């Protein structure tokens, strides 16, 4: 045997180090044990975080990736370990989160025999991954990892799964890592046609009521500055999607609010009054469009999009600009005339004032005795740092936190958007915090979602990650309850929760805790939480039947947005 020959498991770890992976989130088991044995020798070069569940590992990797802009990495064993990653893979696929997930598999000669903990994870994960592969020999390991990282981070990012048989991990081979720089049939850069830019610029220059909708593609394309320059020159009102939040500071004079089912009143209503709709890095999700048959039919649509599959998928574009929005926005900014749209912007501000009086005043300065979710988030705004990261779970608290959190910096919004995964927030916040211990990471959860991954308190305890966890507790599955109230005659079928003593649970994990039931104690508790040097769990008991408005009901048009 040559001196340069090493185990496949060592090739796995050295390949990750070659890709500058900093942290691996994972959980050991029989089929991945050789890789864990190899990790023992590389602990100074790469950090491993032992989560308490594989779903926790992949959500933590997502949180890390979303805040850092790097590829998240997680490890799991075969069978149930691998299948526990599936929800996170599907979540990452729809939200364009770059991940490389490595799973162990039974030895190649046992494949197809129903061996202990054998599962066809490649077949199961195929719809939820950008690319996946099963590696059966030691020679395939390094090329598969190199290709996996390239696919995960390039173009429209997404998750990759590499399933490695146990024999490949224990056999010996030469380590010669060659980073992947591209391969046939996979094109990530598209040359933008100047004539298409000219067509779009003509529509924009002639428009009286132009309107920009921007999404996460701006963040993924690192085009935040280009978006700002475009808006500064064009004077066009701009609204964001859920995952686009933070791409433009909410202090920008052209920013008019948030789109979608529980977005702001003006951005939704005026979608059907604009004459030119400019969509930048967003996919016209159904939560943004409502009834497609009645969506922006009066407008000429310009769509700036990297993924060709998203162009004309839901909304037909009059001008489609296929390419990187960092490049296309720069070209478009150069081609348009400088303008202001004072009268058109005024309509947004008038409707914004209506929403403040009808909804926001109740949410953030309530007259009722009980605490509201909105006032909690508003109080957090008073004390948080400008670059604080908001990580939310899924439900009413998610929509309220999104509505009232003041986003000023990019990569400060981490949530499960397209899949809507309850249980996402706690491990995702851990991953975000472990990327940067010095940054405020504020995790806002509901009493339903937190119990789906509450075991990750153990990981927070072990890592001492200073995550600030805010539980908005209404003893309900709140979003489902709101729908039952509004559309099912208040028939609250299996949505009320008998909850445990969350404070005792947090304290059992050595996490400093506090519970607030009265308004008088809220401000001090938030201050204590944010200045505490370490993890902190704050439970706030809020109104049981507090609803989220505005709202566009399923099947309705965006112009049917309701304030109550």
d(CA 319, CA 236): 18
Task: Give yes or no for a contact between 270 and 341, defined as CB atoms under 8 angstroms apart.
Answer: no
DSSP classification of residue 272 = G
Supply the residues annotated as catalytic: 54, 116-117, 166, 479
Distance CA 356, CA 552 (A): 17
Strand 72-76 with 23-26, pairing: parallel
Q: Identify whether the C-beta of residue 179 lies closer than 8 Å to the C-beta of residue 19.
A: yes
Three-state DSSP class for residue 239: strand
Half-sphere exposure of 403 (CA within 13 A, CB side): 29
Strands 255-258 and 319-322: unpaired
- Taking the CA atoms of residue 495, residue 518, residue 469 and residue 453 in that order, the dihedral angle to the nearest 10 degrees is -20
Task: Give every CB contact of residue 103 below 8 A, 6+ residues apart in sequence.
Answer: 31, 32, 75, 76, 77, 78, 81, 82, 85, 121, 161, 162, 163, 164
Tokens of 330: 């720069």
Q: What is the H or E stretch that residue 530 is in?
A: helix 522-531
Residue from 177, 179, 178, 164 nearest 133 by CA: 164
3-state secondary structure of 516: strand
What is the Rg, in whole angstroms, of the alpha carbon atoms belonging to the chain?
24
SS3 439: coil
**Cα gap 446→395, rounded to integer Å:** 7
Residue 193, Cβ neighbours under 10 Å: how many? 14
Whether the CB-CB separation of 31 and 8 falls below 8 Å is answered with: no
């Amino acid at each position: 045997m040559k001196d340069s020959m090493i185990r496949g498991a060592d090739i796995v770890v050295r390949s990750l180090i070659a890709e500058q992976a900093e942290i691996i989130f994972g959980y050991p088991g029989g089929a991945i044990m050789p890789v864990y044995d190899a990790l023992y020798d590389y602990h100074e070069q790469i950090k491993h975080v032992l989560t308490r569940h594989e779903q926790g590992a992949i959500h933590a990797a997502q949180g890390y990736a979303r805040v850092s802009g790097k590829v998240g990495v997680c490890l799991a064993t075969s069978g149930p370990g691998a299948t526990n990653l599936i929800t996170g893979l599907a979540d990452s696929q729809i939200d364009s989160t770059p991940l490389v997930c490595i799973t162990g598999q039974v030895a190649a000669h046992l494949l197809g025999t129903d061996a202990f903990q054998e599962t066809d994870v490649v077949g199961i994960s195929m719809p939820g991954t950008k690319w996946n592969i099963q590696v059966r020999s030691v020679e395939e390991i390094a090329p598969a990892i190199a290709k996996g990282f390239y696919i995960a981070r390039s173009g429209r990012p997404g998750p990759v799964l590499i399933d490695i048989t146990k024999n490949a991990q224990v056999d010996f081979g030469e380590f010669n890592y060659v980073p992947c720089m591209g391969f046939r049939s996979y094109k990530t850069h598209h040359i933008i046609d100047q004539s298409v830019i000219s067509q779009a610029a003509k529509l924009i220059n002639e428009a009286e009521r132009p309107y920009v909708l921007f999404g996460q593609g701006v963040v993924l394309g690192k085009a935040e500055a280009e978006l700002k320059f475009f808006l500064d020159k064009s004077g066009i009102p701009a609204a964001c999607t859920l995952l686009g939040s933070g791409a433009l500071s909410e202090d920008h004079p052209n920013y008019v609010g948030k789109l979608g089912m529980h977005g702001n009143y003006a951005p939704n209503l005026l979608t059907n009054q604009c004459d030119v709709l400019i969509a930048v890095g967003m996919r016209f999700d159904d939560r943004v469009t409502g009834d497609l048959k009645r969506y922006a039919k009066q407008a000429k649509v310009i769509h700036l999009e990297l993924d060709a599959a998203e162009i004309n998928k839901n909304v037909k574009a009059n001008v489609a600009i296929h390419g990187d929005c960092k490049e296309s926005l720069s070209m478009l900014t150069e081609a348009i005339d400088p303008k202001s749209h004072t009268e058109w912007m005024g309509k947004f501000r008038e409707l914004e004032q209506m929403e403040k009086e009808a909804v926001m005043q109740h949410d953030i300065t309530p007259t009722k005795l009980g605490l509201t979710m909105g006032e909690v988030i508003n109080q957090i705004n008073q004390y948080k740092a400008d670059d604080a990261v908001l990580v939310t779970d899924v439900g009413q608290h998610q929509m309220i936190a999104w509505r009232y959190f003041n986003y000023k910096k990019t990569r400060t919004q981490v949530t499960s958007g397209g899949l809507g995964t309850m249980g996402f927030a706690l491990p995702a916040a851990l991953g975000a915090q472990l990327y940067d211990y010095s940054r405020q990471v504020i995790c806002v959860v509901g009493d339903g979602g937190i119990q789906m991954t509450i075991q990750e308190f153990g990981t927070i305890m072990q890592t001492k990650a200073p995550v600030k966890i805010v539980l908005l507790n209404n003893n309900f599955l709140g979003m489902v309850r709101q729908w039952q109230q509004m559309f099912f005659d208040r028939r609250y079928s299996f949505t009320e929760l008998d909850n445990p003593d969350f404070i005792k649970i947090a304290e059992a994990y050595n996490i400093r805790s506090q519970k607030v039931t009265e308004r008088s104690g809220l401000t001090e508790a938030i201050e204590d939480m944010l200045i505490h040097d370490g993890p902190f769990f704050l439970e706030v008991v809020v109104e049981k039947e507090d609803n989220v408005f505005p709202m566009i009901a399923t099947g309705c048009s965006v112009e049917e947005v309701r304030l109550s």
